[in-house]
Structure 1
Amino acid sequence: MARMRNLILTALLSVIVVVSGYVEELDDKFKEYLKNELWLVEFYTPWCAYCHTFEPILYEVGAELKSMGSPVNVGKIDTTVHTSIASEFNIRGYPTIKLFKGDLSFDYKGPRTKDAIIEFTNRVSGPVVKPLSSVQLFQHVMSHHDLIFVYIGQESLLKKKYYKAATEYIVHTYFFTASEEVLPKAVTLQDVPAIAVFKDGTYYLYNEIVDGDLSFWINRERFPSYFQIDSFSLYQMGELSKLVALAVVDEKNPSEKSIRYKTLMERLSTEYRDHYKSDYQFGYMDGNEYINGLIMGEVEMPFIIVLNMTIDGYCLPESTIETIEDLLRFLNSVLDGSAKLLGGNGFLQHTKRVFNKARSTVVSMFQAAPFFSCFVFGLPVGIVVLVIWRTCTAVPADDEKPMEGATASPALDAHGRKAKEMQPDGIEKTSEAKKED
């Protein structure tokens, strides 16, 4: 039995060594590699609990990219050792994941999962805009992606704008070019060149007069009209000028109320898309843990909430949502300002949010690395306690000096006997004076 256990342990250690070999520990000289190589790099610190959790996932990413024959190298760098790196690459949180491609760098802001990171790496490391040269290829792409942008037509000023916007948003979604001949027959174009987004089982065309700036339109349309929203996509929506209408439900134990809320939200996203497309992003979220942390409170599931991620504000309906009319009234009350806005980013709310985030980070650190966390927090506390103890128990220097005009011990003469008492002026007392005494 013991031998079998040792064999299993040895095999696991071998796998760890092999997998970890695909992730290189970098120093501040790694910038020299960026000129001719593609690099996916994690910026981390030893005290970050999330970094410890993410480490095995990074090793899996490195191993799979290598097995796929990807040209992308995978590495990580400790910013506490190479301190100038954090400021040079504008690192604000940990772990931060960047893909370096020539003179460009792309931040990864999605879920910390192997599949999501590999998809991001493959999308960004290749051409920013890929051609769709046949009907079969177009159908293949549509079957593998829920949302894509397509430029249709020949060279034009619009195409240059499209390529520029694609470079900015390639971190989020896919961009292609195609001719009219390879498009599905259901697609009707009023003019060429044109840009279309294919999502929600249909397509929408860009109209410069109605939709304004192309980058703004792409940023607004890069999410499905209704989908399951996680903390990462919700964080990205802070960049939009949209409110987020969410049905927060428990997917493991769905209730009749949960199903009704999801159905109403999805129906609203399709039937009223044109009316709310500039104001609302619709979706649902599984579980209330993230929302409770965001609003610094607790709401019992299921519930409907509208989030303003720009100011960290939120609105809750004051009455139960039973019908689509109830939901419409609530959303309209948010838009016209009659619904009560809670939260926000005022001084008190900001201070409270910072405190809660710090507390959550500390708890996560102790859960992920208890011994290291004890050292990190215990060392400065121990030093402070030691300084205070030394200060309180130290003897003042003045207490060690004898009082003026006094001696610390009786003076002795050359023979070891007490010296005779002396008058203040140093003259020995006479016998008469002694008698008077």
Structure 2
Amino acid sequence: MAVVGMDRMVGQTLFSLMVVVVLLLAISGSASSSSTEQFPVDGKVLELDESNFDSVISSFDYVLVDFYAPWCGHCKRLSPQLDAAAPVLAALKQPIVIAKVNAEKFSRLAQKYDVDAYPTIKLFMHGVPVEYNGPRKAELLVRYLKKFVAPDVTVLDSDTAIKNYVEEAGTYFPIYIGFGLNESVISNLAIKYRKKAWFSVAKDFSEEIMVSYDFDKVPALVSLQPKYDEHSIFYGPFEEEFLDAFIKQNMLPLALPINYDSLKSLEDDERKIVLTFVEDEAEEKSKKLIKILKSAASANRDLVFGYVGIKQWEEFADTFEATKKSPLPKMVIWNRNEDYFTVVGSESIDEEDQASQVSRFLEGYREGRTIQKRISKSSLLGFINSLIGIRTVYLIVFLVGVIMLIRNINKGDDEPLGVGSQDEVDRASSSVSESESKEYKHGEKED
């Protein structure tokens, strides 16, 4: 009888658990249905606030959020582009929803997601925000965002499919096509770098395609930089270690124009940067030097080659003591912190036989004939001010003001406040005033 009673109790317990599971599934399905009804994917830009933001982000796998201010001119120009892109993105097999937040009105949301300039656009992928630095015209924005919902590896079965794939991919990401490769060979790396590049394998193609992409045997992995009209070929070995090295080396063009966005693209790259400063990137003599830098880069893959026009980004160049008054072009090695290196005997490059001078610069660096220098701190203020938002500058001003106010209130007390000397506060106040006066430059974020 005891055994029968025990079986009955177990049976009742299992039945109760099944009922609970069924109820939970019903509730979950009901919640999912209600959230879908509440936020339909109808191609319209959703207006978000503090009451519905989290619900929208959790309801959709991909949400592009525009944090704007009503008075911002750039925001006003962006708005119709988002309106035009929204129905196209909503119609994708894996839809991308576009939403916007009045960051001035809902400042808590803006602070939570580090919004310090307008407009700030963030792509939420499965709830995780990533800053969007792509194009802002509707057609290009759609093409850019399709990358994030594309298959990890696309299989191409004809010349036409290859040409269409490259055209649709656009120019904002490098493209890797494995000719005669099985998708399993590059699938792991395609997942690893899916946010940074397109990956595909071509199963069927003609000799015409081989000629156009400049490879003469298979298997071969071809990397394309459409924006810079560059390509590179890898014939193996196709172990993951060697494939990974090739993919990483070709994520960037041979010579990278340095600006705010391109610096951010270097965050995961551990190589030192060969920086070349010219007066104006657009000048013909600068373009000739850039071609030489590309040749040097192809032979020195352990380094990143970048160039900066003083006309294009004067604040950045000034931190390395490169100005219009200094001898130009100028080359340095930068390790992406406060230190950089000049090469003895190669402090500048004249206009004659620049290829030999670039070679001597690299040779001197390899042999250790360098002088270590620190980035100019007075100039660094302007550089930092170009990277951080104006709200951050205002916050620094506010904090310094509070410190000075507290010191004035406690001026008559016997025990001084432990916040440093008056000279230090004065210096801090002076530095902040200087940084506040700098013009704010942050790509499109000028408001």
- Bin for the TM-score computed over the shorter chain: 0.5 to 0.7
- CA distance in 2: counterparts of 1:115 and 1:295, whole angstroms: 38
Residue in 2 aligned with 1:266? 291
State how 1:324-343 maps to structure 2 within 5 Å: 324-343=355-374
Give the direction of change, closer, same or farther, for the CA distance of 1:234–1:366 in structure 2 (3 Å limit). Answer: closer
Q: 2:53 aligns with which of 20, 23, 30?
A: 30
| C-alpha displacement of 1:23 | 5.6
Give the direction of change, closer, same or farther, for the CA distance of 1:105–1:140 in structure 2 (3 Å limit). Answer: same
1:195 correspondence with 2:213: no
Could you tell me whether the CA contact under 8 Å between 2:329 and 2:348 is conserved in 1? no
Residue in 2 aligned with 1:55? 75
- CA distance in 1: counterparts of 2:236 and 2:115, whole angstroms: 37
State how 1:44-123 maps to structure 2 within 5 Å: 52=72, 55-56=75-76, 58-66=78-86, 68=88, 70=90, 71-77=95-101, 78=103, 80-82=107-109, 85-86=112-113, 91=114, 97-102=121-126, 106-110=130-134, 117-123=141-147
Give the direction of change, closer, same or farther, for the CA distance of 1:318–1:151 in structure 2 (3 Å limit). Answer: same
1:237 correspondence with 2:273: no
1:130 correspondence with 2:154: yes
Q: Deviations over 1:218-271 (max 9, x none)?
A: 23201222354433113322432142343523256x3xxxx334313313423x
Aligned residues: 343
- CA distance in 1: counterparts of 2:175 and 2:359, whole angstroms: 30
Any idea what SS the aligned residue of 1:244 has?
Answer: strand
Larger-gyration structure (1/2): 1
State how 1:156-167 maps to structure 2 within 5 Å: 157-167=184-194
| C-alpha displacement of 1:197 | 0.8
Q: Which moved more, 1:179-188 or 1:107-116?
A: 107-116
| C-alpha displacement of 1:68 | 3.6
Could you tell me whether the CA contact under 8 Å between 2:278 and 2:329 is conserved in 1? yes
Any idea what SS the aligned residue of 2:162 has?
Answer: helix
Give the direction of change, closer, same or farther, for the CA distance of 1:64–1:307 in structure 2 (3 Å limit). Answer: farther
Q: Deviations over 1:32-91 (max 9, x none)?
A: 3344422012467x8xxxx956533542442231254544222345484148944xxxx5
Give the direction of change, closer, same or farther, for the CA distance of 1:130–1:28 in structure 2 (3 Å limit). Answer: farther
1:152 correspondence with 2:179: yes
Whichever residue aligns with residue 268 of structure 2, its letter is E
Q: 2:317 aligns with which of 269, 279, 292?
A: 292
Q: 2:276 aligns with which of 246, 249, 252?
A: 246
| C-alpha displacement of 1:381 | 4.6
| C-alpha displacement of 1:155 | 4.4
Normalised TM-score (structure 1): 0.61
Could you tell me whether the CA contact under 8 Å between 2:315 and 2:383 is conserved in 1? no
Give the direction of change, closer, same or farther, for the CA distance of 1:166–1:273 in structure 2 (3 Å limit). Answer: same
| C-alpha displacement of 1:365 | 6.0
Q: Which moved more, 1:196-205 or 1:326-335?
A: 196-205
- CA distance in 1: counterparts of 2:366 and 2:137, whole angstroms: 36
Q: Deviations over 1:78-134 (max 9, x none)?
A: 484148944xxxx59767643234466544345777776544323223334333332
Structure 1 residues not aligned, in runs of 5+: 1-20, 368-372, 393-437
| C-alpha displacement of 1:176 | 2.3
- CA distance in 2: counterparts of 1:188 and 1:355, whole angstroms: 48
- CA distance in 2: counterparts of 1:366 and 1:160, whole angstroms: 41
Could you tell me whether the CA contact under 8 Å between 1:245 and 1:305 is conserved in 2? yes
Whichever residue aligns with residue 217 of structure 1, its letter is F
- CA distance in 1: counterparts of 2:259 and 2:248, whole angstroms: 18
Residue in 1 aligned with 2:250? 221
Give the direction of change, closer, same or farther, for the CA distance of 1:55–1:238 in structure 2 (3 Å limit). Answer: same
- CA distance in 2: counterparts of 1:389 and 1:379, whole angstroms: 15
Structure 2 residues not aligned, in runs of 5+: 1-43, 413-447
- CA distance in 1: counterparts of 2:46 and 2:274, whole angstroms: 38
Any idea what SS the aligned residue of 1:136 has?
Answer: helix
Any idea what SS the aligned residue of 2:108 has?
Answer: coil
Could you tell me whether the CA contact under 8 Å between 2:156 and 2:201 is conserved in 1? yes
Normalised TM-score (structure 2): 0.60
Whichever residue aligns with residue 222 of structure 1, its letter is M
- CA distance in 1: counterparts of 2:232 and 2:122, whole angstroms: 32
- CA distance in 2: counterparts of 1:343 and 1:210, whole angstroms: 41
Whichever residue aligns with residue 273 of structure 2, its letter is L
- CA distance in 2: counterparts of 1:387 and 1:279, whole angstroms: 50
| C-alpha displacement of 1:165 | 2.7
- CA distance in 1: counterparts of 2:98 and 2:115, whole angstroms: 21
Give the direction of change, closer, same or farther, for the CA distance of 1:319–1:248 in structure 2 (3 Å limit). Answer: closer
Whichever residue aligns with residue 129 of structure 1, its letter is V
Any idea what SS the aligned residue of 2:323 has?
Answer: coil
| C-alpha displacement of 1:325 | 0.6
| C-alpha displacement of 1:281 | 2.4
- CA distance in 2: counterparts of 1:338 and 1:113, whole angstroms: 48
Q: CA RMSD in A?
A: 4.6
Could you tell me whether the CA contact under 8 Å between 1:129 and 1:163 is conserved in 2? yes
